[in-house]
Structures are given as structure tokens and as C-alpha cells.
A and B are shown apart, each in its own frame.
Chain A
Amino acid sequence: MSVVSSSEISRPPIQRKGFSYDRLIRYFFASNAGLTIVILLLIIAFLLKEGLGFFPGYRRELEIYRITGMEFVDLSRTNLTSHEQLTSLLNRAYFAEINGQADRELKRSTEAAALVADIDDFTASVRDSYFSATEEAAPAAEVIARLKAQYAALLSLAIKDLPPSPHLTEEERKGIIDAMMQRPIDNEDTPEFVTKLAGEYATARQKFAAPLEEARTRIDAFEAAGSELNSLVGEMTSLVRVSKDALNKSDILERERKSLLAAAASAKDPATRERLQQEAKTALAEVPDIRETTEKVLAKKSQCSEAHQKLHQSITGLTAQLTFSYQQAESVKLQRAALAAMPAFLKELEAAPAKIEAWNAAEPVHLSAAIHSFLTGKSWVTGGEWQDFYGILPLLTGSLMIAIVALLIAIPVGIGAAIYTNQFASLREQKLIKPIIEFIQAIPSVVLGFIGIFILGEALRTLSTSPALAWFPGFPMDERLNIFTAGCLLALMSIPTIFSLAEDAINNVPAAYSEASEALGASKLQTTFRVVVPAAFSGILAAVLLGFGRVIGETMVVLLVAGNRIKIPDFSAGVGAFFQPAHTMTGIIAQELGEVPVGSVHYRALFVVGILLFAIVLGINATAHHFTRKMKH
């Protein structure tokens, strides 16, 4: 006898045919699991879809760069730029020397001027109102009176918070402030004493410049030597720019025509089709004839070669005489830098004529040239007036250098903390350490970036200016935001990753190992370092690699803190290169994607950077998982 009648139980028959809910549910879950594959494939597909168009587009840009003769102009322009940089270095050395000698006068004058400017700024608005009021035919007396009262009020407010003036005596400072206080609203003159200080500074400059007269003439001669090349490059630039604009315009028209034709082909209504085709015909761009201008540019080949040879000659003559015995440390440093760069520059100048002669506008630009230029290009120049270059090297170097700094800090700290926590720490310590490190992992990267800008960057720079650390290469830092600062923060970010994975790996080493080791008379320390850590080695390696993957792929911290200068750091500074600003692969995407037109070459370039990033990180992770698997066996 059953309590439940059989009709109350709806039970499927044992043998089922065809459709069943259970199977449907199963397929539903399976398809959700398959979603992960779909997402991964979509990521790859869309990265490639947007990215692969980059190379043909870039090839076309490089082709334009060549056939318009821009490439030809750049052969001379690079040398001109180096010449300008050298000149600037020499000039800076010269002025640093003079200003260094006249340091006291300079500081007194600037400080006094700063006092005046501060008070002026503070009262500027009321003064402006006063002047506009008095311009009217009949200014109301009460308005004037009110403005004057406000002026007086502001003046007394202004002197409360003035910049320090350590090089002026208390009396002098007071004199200036009093003069400013007594100055009526309609008087804009600088106090006499301030003018006098400026005069003293000018006299001092003249005095110290006198013995350096020889240097001045030679630097001027050096500068003048480049003038011929300069004007040549100027002429050619305006010529090729015309061709480039014409070509770009025709490219755009051609694209429009194609889309019009495509629209016409798909139009249903014959009248619309007719109209669209007509529009396409009128839009048909003539391929502009740029041969003429290119030839005009090429006609200057011999002139260019000559200019280079002349420049080479005159500079060779001057180089020996460019060493002056400066006394200021700054000047000596700058001069040394200038002289060090000189031989390479001379070599370039010497090689230039041959390059100029060999250049050929008709030489075809292959797709491989675009790929090559992307992978080995040393400059990433975009949205520029002249020519865009998409070279990955500066970004890749930036990313790698930041990762190196981060890992150099995070590996010892992360692994050390993992070893300590797992092997030596008491249970209570573990309960303190683990949640805090887990919390660090939860800190959003943008908050770390904020900390970098507002706290760490300033703190590190202040530290780097301390005289006790002056021996350290790269100190004092020029920039608050640089590779090292970003690396420190990324270290903080990757420590939890490395810590928790390494701690897991150490924890997974069988207890029998350490028991056996201690039974053999090994101390705890010996057991840890000779048995436990070696046994966990591949797991720890995986932890480090995953930390590396996280660092390379991190965006917000580097975007905010790395300094965003798109330039390969100057490795001649040695370790100091790590204290220069840089840009990164992740940072460039985040910074530029929002600003570029969808579908442009620049837009596609960012996707190619994304593909590269994706490939690098996936490669790192795959290696890491290889080691994790090895650990399990």
C-alpha cells in the first residue's frame, strides 16, 4: 500500500526517446561553458580584425613618405636637428657659467621680482576694473572710491603670504613691500630698488661674460655653420608638404568614391543608384601629379650634399676649439655631454652625402617594410604635422624596464615574505600577514596610481635630492614621475600575486620532507632552504612569471605614474636610465584610443600593440602554467 498515489508522482519513463528536459538543461549548461571559448575567440578575432589593417595602411603612409620626398628631406633634417641640439647644449653650458658666476645677483633680482609679481597678480583684477572704469567718460566717484578701498584691502591681504627671499636682507624686503603698499592704484611702475637689482644683475652678467668672449664667438660660429642646411631643409619642407597634402586628399576622395559605389551597388531604387554613381564619378579624384615637386626637391641633391660637406668641414675645424675651461659644475657637465656627442655627429655628417645620392623615390615600399618599421622603429610619433611613425621599441622598452624594476623589488620581498609566513611565522602572525597582503591585492590600480602621483613620486624625489645620496646614478631625479616610481608601485601590486602563489607552492611541499630533514638533524633553517624551497622551486618560478604577466599587463599605474614620455631612455646614463620617464604599451592604448578616429591607421596601430601585449602575456602565462603542472607531478 502506498501513501502517495502513483498519479502524484510524475516520473519520466526509464527509457527515454528524443527530447527531454534533462538533456536540454545539460545543453544549456554546456553552452554556457562554451561561452568562455567564444569570448576568447571573439577577443582574438576582433583584435586581428581591427589590427591587421594596420600594416597595409602603414605601408601606404610610408610609401607617401617616400614618393613625396619627405624621406629625402628627413635625411638632412636629422642632421640639422642634431646640430641644433648640440648648439643648444653649448649655449646652455655658456649661460650656466655666466649665471653661475652671477648667482647672487641673479637670485636677488629674481626674488625681488617675484615679490612684486606676487603682489601684482593678487591685485590685478581690481586694478583692471579700475582702468576700465576710468576709461568711461564720467566715472562715478563712488565706484572709484570703492575700487580704491578694495585695492587697499587686497594689498594688505597680498602681503600676508609672499614667497621667501633668502638672498635679500630683511630691510630690503621690507623696502620693496612698503614701496608696493604705497603705490597708488593707477601706477604700474616697478619699485626703484627692484629695477636697480635687475641692473646689478645685468652688469654682473656683462662682467662675467667678458672673459668668455672667445667662447661666445666660437659657439656663434658653430651655430652659423648650420644656416645653409637649415634654409635648404626649410625650402624642401614646404615643397614636399604640398605633395603630401595633395596625396592625402586624393586618398580620402578615393575612399569616399568607393563607399559611394558600394552604396550604389546595394541601393534598390534605380534613381538613387544613378545619383550615387553620378556622385562617385564627380568625386573621382585625379591622382595628383607630384612628380614635378619631387623633382624640384631632388634637384637639390647636390646642394644638400655640399651643405653637409661644408658643415662637416667647418665643424671639424671648430671642434678642437670648443673646449673652454668653465668653473661651474653644471657648465662642465653640459660641455662634456656636447663634446661626447660630437664624434657620432661628425660621422653622420660624413656619411650623409652618400645616403643623399643613393636615395631613390621610385624604390617600392613593401609590406615587410611596414612590419619592419613597426617592430624595430625607435620612434612613436603620431598626430604630427610631418610624418607619423609607429615604432614599438620605445613602448616595449618602457614596459620592460618598469617590469624589471617591479620584479627586482617584488621577487625578494614576495618570496621572502612567503617563506617567512609559511615556515617561520607563528599562527598569530599568519593571521595578521595574510589578510593585509590580500587587502593590498584588492587595492584598485587607479588608487595606486594616485598614490604614485601624490605621495610616492614626491617622496622619492625629495629623497633623491638629499646630498647623502648624490653618488647614486640618476640622482637627483629630474622628473617626479618616472620608470622607478612606476616600478615601485607595480612591485606593491605584484607582491600579493607572487606571495600567495609562492606560499601555496611552499605549502604544497609534503610535510614528510621537512619531517625527514629534521629527523636527520637539520635545523629549521637548513630544512627550509635545502629541502622545502628547492622542492617548491617550479611553483615559485610560476608565481614569479604570473607576477611578471600581471606587471606587463597593468595599465592605470603606468599611465598615471610612468611619466608618459615616448622615448627610449638614454642608456648612456647607466642605471640612471631607470629614473627617466617612459611610456608603455598598455599606457599608450589607454591614452590614445579615446582620441583617434575609428578605422584610422593610428587606431589600428593601437590594436596591433594590443595584439602584441596579448601574445606576450599569454606566452608568459602559458610558461607559468607549464611550471605549475611540473610542480604537481
Chain B
Amino acid sequence: MNSAIQIEHLDFCYGAKQALFDVSMEIPALQVTALIGPSGCGKSTLLRCFNRINDRIAGARVTGGSIRIHDIDIMRPDIDLLELRRHVGMVFQKYNPFAKSIYENVAYSSRIAGIKDKARLDEIVESSLRDAALWDEVKDRVHDSAFGLSGGQQQRLCIARAIANRPEILLMDEPCAALDPLATLKIEELIQQLKKQFTIVIVTHNMAQASRCSDKTAFMYLGKLIEFDDTKKIFTNPREKQTEQYITGSFG
């Protein structure tokens, strides 16, 4: 089994405050990997390193180790960030469609990449919306404002927007945190569909969700990776005591 992301001894700081300590793991391709842990454990930080969106924050930097995607060190200074982000898509905690129509939201990444051909755009929008299981619900109103959709639909729109680039890796930062249980269920079903095409890394607070939809689970605590293994193993027979305590709800 080949790995999509290799993390080796990663240290990461926000200014003077170190957020990740010596994290090493290999995230397998075309599977769902869940990052769990209590708030502030560094799981979102780690996720946000994979597309270097952390670069937006002043003072945030990697202080040691490396992240390699397909054997390319993405922390190299000559990495084309925009290209990297086209290959590593991201979905955020709070659904955040742009103040544009549904169509324009999905077509956004293609347009900034310079695609102007109408037919090609139509095709991309339709296939992305289909992949995000949204097409049937919105096909009659793709030119309406995205804000007219329900919360769950808006989050699926954001997924459609992220996969319109056809990335290889899809990062999801607590994608269901702002959704009701029914909408959450839909997203989880969607994740199962999507993992056929994309390597998915998902950060979640919800352990039931991690156990339901991930193949691998990493448990992090205080910026350190405590345990990383098959989901089944983590949830039934964890190696570390902290993992067990967290999973059984003793803390966190």
C-alpha cells in the first residue's frame, strides 16, 4: 500500500508557542484517515500543514522535520503554493460558500486557473456537484445564490467546490461540526463515496464519526501523536493508555 503523505519528525510553532512536537506518520492513499484528540491538541494545525494554509498566519512556521507528498517535500521554499493547493483540497469546519451563485462557487477554482470555455465549465460544475451528491437537489437553480441552500447543502457545495480541482488529497476540518445529525449522516455517506477517488484526511471531535467512516485513526494529545493505527484497532484495542481514556470519555 502506498502512502500519500509522509510526515517525519514534524515540529511546528505559532510564534514562540510550539504546537506540534515530533509528529511522524504515513497517511495511506485512497483511504480515510481521521485525526482525533481533545481541543488544542494540534490536529487542525497538522491538517492545515498539508496544504500550507497555515502560511497565512503571521509567525506560523515549521521548525523541524518534513512533510512529503509523493516524495516531494512540500515545505521547500520553491514549492508553487497555488499548485500545491490545487492538488490538496480543503473543506472547513463552518461551511463558507462565497457570496456568489452555486454555479460560480463550483466554477471558481476553474476560473482562477484560467478556464473560460463555457462547455468545459458546465461539465466541471455538473460532475463536481454530482460527486458531492448535490446535483439532483440544485440542478434547477445553479444560478441562484449559494446562501439559499440549507446548512448541509452548503457544506456539500463546499465539498463540490473543493473537488472541482480534482485534487488527490481532500482535507476536511471538522466538516460536520456545524451541521445537524441528518446532514452529518449525508456527509458521512458522501465521504465513503469520495474515498474511491480521493485520499481523505478528516479532523473530527466526534469519535463515533471517526469510527464510522475512517479506515485509519490518529490520536493526538498536546501536540504529540500518541497513537496511529487502523481505526478498528484504535477503538477496540488501543495500545496507549491515554488513547483508551480519551475514547472511553475519561477526559477531553
Please give me the residue from chain A that is nearest to B82 by CB atom: A521
Say yes or no: A522-B109 contact (C-beta < 8 A), given A516-B158, A517-B98, A535-B99: yes
Residues B89 and A520 in contact, CB atoms below 8 Å apart? yes
Contact residue among B85, B94, B100 (Cβ-Cβ distance under 8 Å from A521): B85
**Chain B residues positioned under 8 Å from A531 (CB to CB):** 98, 108
Q: How far is the CB of A422 from chain B (nearest CB, A)?
A: 14
Check B161 against A520 for contact (C-beta < 8 Å): yes
The yes or no answer to A592 lying at the interface (CB within 8 A) is: no
| B89 and A519 form a contact (CB under 8 A) | yes
Interface residues of B in 58-112 (CB under 8 A from A): 58, 82-86, 89-90, 92, 94, 96, 98-100, 108-109, 111-112
A516-B112 contact, Cβ under 8 Å, with A521-B83, A521-B165: no
Q: Is A512 an interface residue (CB 8 A)?
A: yes
Q: Is B185 an interface residue (CB 8 A)?
A: no
Interface residues of B in 151-166 (CB under 8 A from A): 158, 161-162, 165
Considering only residues 24-38 of chain A, those with a C-beta below 8 Å from chain B are none
A516: nearest chain-B partner, CB-CB = B96
Contact of B162 among A427, A520, A534 (CB under 8 A): A520
Bound together, the chains give a CA A530 to CA B162 distance in angstroms of 17
Query: Which B residues between 39 and 68 are near A, CB-CB below 8 angstroms?
Result: 51, 53, 56, 58
Given contacts A515-B53, A515-B56, A516-B158, contact A521 B109 (CB under 8 A): yes
B113 at the interface (CB under 8 A from A): yes
In chain A between 376 and 428, which residues have their CB closer than 8 angstroms to a CB of chain B?
A: 427
Instruction: Report the bound CA distance from A217 to B154 in whole Å.
Output: 87
Confirm or deny: A323 has a beta carbon within 8 angstroms of a beta carbon on chain B.
no
Contacting residues, chain B, for A517 (C-beta < 8 A): 98, 108
Chain A residue with the shortest CB-CB distance to B58: A427
Which residues from chain A contact B90 at a C-beta distance below 8 Å? 516, 519
Complex-state Cα separation, A43 to B109, whole angstroms: 54
CB neighbours (8 Å) of A521 from chain B are: 82-86, 109, 112-113, 165
- Contact yes or no, A519 B98, CB < 8 A: no
Given A513-B98, A534-B99, A535-B98: A520 and B108 interface contact (C-beta under 8 Å): yes
B residues contacting the other copy or chain, number (CB 8 A)? 26
State how many angstroms separate the Cβ of B80 from the closest Cβ of chain A.
Answer: 10
* One of B86, B89, B100, B165 near A534 (C-beta < 8 A): B100
User: Chain A interface secondary structure, helix, strand, loop or mixed?
Assistant: helix
Q: How far is the CA of A353 from the CA of B21 in the complex (A)?
A: 100
Question: In A500-525, which residues have CB < 8 Å from any B CB?
Answer: 510, 512-513, 515-523
Q: How far is the CA of A547 from the CA of B99 in the complex (A)?
A: 25
Q: Contact: B112 with A512, CB < 8 Å?
A: no
A227 at the interface (CB under 8 A from B): no
Residues of A within 8 A of B158 (CB): 516
CA distance A535 to B104 in the complex (A): 13
Please report the C-alpha to C-alpha distance between residue A522 and residue B112 in the assembled complex, in whole angstroms.
6
- Are A530 and B108 in contact (CB-based, < 8 A)? yes
B82:A522 contact, CB within 8 angstroms: yes
One of A427, A513, A523 near B82 (C-beta < 8 A): A523
Asked whether A513 and B56 contact (CB < 8 A) given A520-B112, A521-B82, A523-B82, the answer is no
Residues of A within 8 Å of B58, CB to CB, are: 427
Q: CB distance A519 to B94 under 8 Å?
A: no
**Chain A 450-479 residues near chain B, CB threshold 8 A:** none
Q: Is A526 an interface residue (CB 8 A)?
A: yes
Contact A510 B96 (CB under 8 A): yes
B92: chain A residues at CB < 8 Å are: 512, 515-516, 519
**In the complex, what residues of B have CB within 8 A of residue A513's CB?**
96, 98-99
Q: Whose C-beta in chain A lies nearest to the C-beta of B100?
A: A534
Residues of chain B within 8 A (CB-CB) of A534 are 98-100
Q: Chain A 486-512 against B: per-residue CB contact (8 Å), 1 yes, 0 no?
A: 000000000000000000000000101
Inter-chain contacts of B98 with A (CB < 8 A): 513, 516-517, 531, 534-535
Is A530 a contact partner of B99 (Cβ separation < 8 A)? no
CB distance from B201 to the nearest CB of A (A): 13
| CB contact list, A533-549 vs B, under 8 A | 534-535
Residues in B whose Cβ lies below 8 Å from that of A512: 92, 94, 96
Q: In this complex, which of B84, B109, B112, B162 has the most chain A Cβ atoms within 10 angstroms of its Cβ?
A: B112
Contacting pair B165 A520 (CB below 8 A): yes
Report the bound CA distance from A515 to B90 in whole Å. Answer: 10
Most buried by A among B92, B96, B111, B113: B96
Give bound CA distance, A526 to B82, whole Å.
11
Q: Which residues of A contact B56 (CB under 8 A)?
A: 515, 518
How would residues 259 to 302 of chain A score, 1 for a CB under 8 Å from any chain B CB and 0 otherwise?
00000000000000000000000000000000000000000000
- Give the Cβ gap from A510 to chain B, nearest Cβ, in Å: 7
List A contacts of B99 (CB < 8 A).
513, 534-535
CB-contacts of B197-220 with A (<8 A): none
CB distance from A451 to the nearest CB of B (A): 39
Contact B94 A520 (CB under 8 A): no
Residue of A nearest to B96 (CB): A512
A539 to chain B, nearest CB (A): 12
Chain B residues, CB < 8 A from A526: 112
The complex places the Cα of A535 from the Cα of B97 at a distance, in Å, of: 11
Which 6 residue pairs are nearest across A and B when measured between Cβ atoms?
A512-B96, A521-B86, A519-B90, A521-B85, A520-B109, A535-B99
Q: What are 7 of the A-B contact pairs (CB < 8 Å)?
A: A516-B158, A519-B51, A519-B89, A520-B86, A521-B86, A521-B109, A521-B112
Known: A515-B92, A522-B109. 14 other contacts (CB 8 A): A513-B99, A515-B96, A516-B96, A517-B98, A517-B108, A519-B51, A519-B85, A519-B162, A520-B85, A520-B162, A521-B86, A521-B113, A530-B112, A535-B98
Task: Give the B-binding residues of A (Cβ under 8 A).
Answer: 427, 510, 512-513, 515-523, 526, 530-531, 534-535
